[in-house]
Amino acid sequence: MALEQVLRPQDFATEVHNDWCPGCGDFGILRTIQMAFAEMKMEPHRVAVVSGIGCSAKTIHYIKTYGVHTLHGRALPYASGVKLANPHLKVLCLSGDGDGLGIGGGHFVNAGRRNLDMLYIIHDNGVYGLTKGQAAPTLKLGVKTKSLAHPNINDAVNPIWLALAAGATWVGRGYSYDVKHLRDLIISGIRHKGYAFLDVLQPCPTYNDINTKDWYGGEDRKDDTGRAMPRVYKLVDEGFDPVVREPADVEGKTTQALEKALEWGDRIPIGVFYENELTPTFEERIGKRIATYADHPPALQAIGTRDGIPVTDVGRLLAALTVPPSA
Ligand code: SF4
């Protein structure tokens, strides 16, 4: 596809049948990813989107770029491998909150420590939609959705807190029904130099009848004029500045982000909580250790001749990894 043709969101749409439920918040996330790619004039062959398992994971089938639908909870390590093999690719990773913060919780922490230059999006709806709505890690303690026999007995993970504590250098939250705002967040996360984590509030109308579009929009509480009072508000509208400009800013910017991340209920902030490009990326650290890495990463190296004969010298590799016996 010629670059000049790749300007519309629909140019990133596949013809794969979509079987999400009507009204699912996943539609907004899919659309905004396609809008962001179009806006950024991304070339499909330079983009890889990796997903785990769940309703969210189907997203990769509907985006016309490279895509891999991997194992439950393992999207992040797979995406990390893709990025390390070819750091010239733009890599997006997608999970649900069950996929990414439940079974994939350990990977979530270690992705923050590494600071690979990629964007990780969690479709956050509080339930395991694909398996009939069991409580997922972000569902609050005591909440009883229509899919649960009893109120949730576990406390919830706060994804923003966890991402900050793990070391993510860009942390944001979007809302799947605020499409333009979410598109801008995705663009910002992709452009960020380092690991960007984006939590997206994504109503699941089929199994979560508590955190619905109407609930986020405040339809259950009206002001004196009868207008709904939305719970979701934008950080930028209140002058929140998330950017670390010098090392001395880190403590203060982290603290204010943690404080904002505690807001929930009547007021739910969306936008960029934290942004820090002072930390070296994992690729930069590897480049210091292996001088040829940036120009000759593994995916761009020949692994065989035209006749299929391997060119890899396993002997050299093993020799380099051998620990000499102690004297
Ligand atoms: Fe969306 Fe929920 Fe249906 Fe899954 S079960 S497609 S998350 S509405």
d(CA 60, CA 53): 11
pLDDT given for residue 289 in this prediction: 94
H or E element at residue 283: helix 282-289
Q: Which ligand 1 atom minimizes the distance to the CA of 54?
A: 4
For residue 8, report the distance from its CA to the centre of ligand 1, in Å.
Answer: 26
What residue's CA is closest to ligand 1, atom 1?
A: 24
Q: Which ligand 1 atom minimizes the distance to the CA of 123?
A: 7
Q: Which of 17, 19, 21 to mutate to test the pocket of ligand 1 (most atoms within 8 A of CB)?
A: 21
H or E element at residue 123: strand 119-124
Q: Which CATH number fits domain 3-286: 3.40.50.300, 3.40.50.970, 3.10.270.10, 1.10.1050.10?
A: 3.40.50.970
Low-confidence ranges of the chain (pLDDT < 50): none
Asked if residue 147 has its Cβ within 6 Å of ligand 1, the reply is no
pLDDT given for residue 311 in this prediction: 86
CB 87 within 8 A of CB 297: yes
Q: Which of 55, 97, 146 to mutate to test the pocket of ligand 1 (most atoms within 8 A of CB)?
A: 55
Find the radius of gyration of the CA atoms of the chain.
21
Asked if residue 30 has its Cβ within 6 Å of ligand 1, the reply is no
Q: Which ligand 1 atom minimizes the distance to the CA of 23?
A: 8
Beta strands 66-69 and 47-51: pairing type? Answer: parallel
Asked if residue 202 has its Cβ within 6 Å of ligand 1, the reply is no
What residue's CA is closest to ligand 1, atom 2?
A: 204
CB 56 within 8 A of CB 26: yes
CB 114 within 8 A of CB 107: no
Mean pLDDT of the chain: 95
Output the DSSP codes for 246-295: SGGGHHHHHHHHHHHHT--SS-EEEEEEEEE--SPPHHHHHHHHSTTTTT
* CA-to-CA dists, residue 94 to 26, 240, 276, angstroms: 11, 27, 22
pLDDT given for residue 227 in this prediction: 96
d(CA 77, CA 59): 18
Q: What is the pLDDT of residues 215-225, one digit of tens each?
A: 999 999 999 99
161 burial via Cβ count (<10 Å: 0-12, 13-18, 19+): middle
Task: List the one residue out of 85, 84, 40 whose CA is nearest residue 65.
Answer: 40
Please tell me the pTM assigned to this model.
0.93
Asked if residue 55 has its Cβ within 6 Å of ligand 1, the reply is yes
Report residue 51 as tokens. Answer: 């997903």
pLDDT given for residue 320 in this prediction: 87
Q: What is the pLDDT of residues 16-31, one digit of tens each?
A: 999 999 999 999 999 9
What residue's CA is closest to ligand 1, atom 3?
A: 21
Report residue 221 as tokens. Answer: 């509480």
Asked if residue 44 has its Cβ within 6 Å of ligand 1, the reply is no
Asked if residue 132 has its Cβ within 6 Å of ligand 1, the reply is no
For residue 204, report the distance from its CA to the centre of ligand 1, in Å.
Answer: 5
Q: What is the pLDDT of residues 32-58, one digit of tens each?
A: 999 999 999 999 999 999 999 999 999
pLDDT given for residue 325 in this prediction: 85
Output the DSSP codes for 295-314: TS-GGGS--B-TTS-B---H
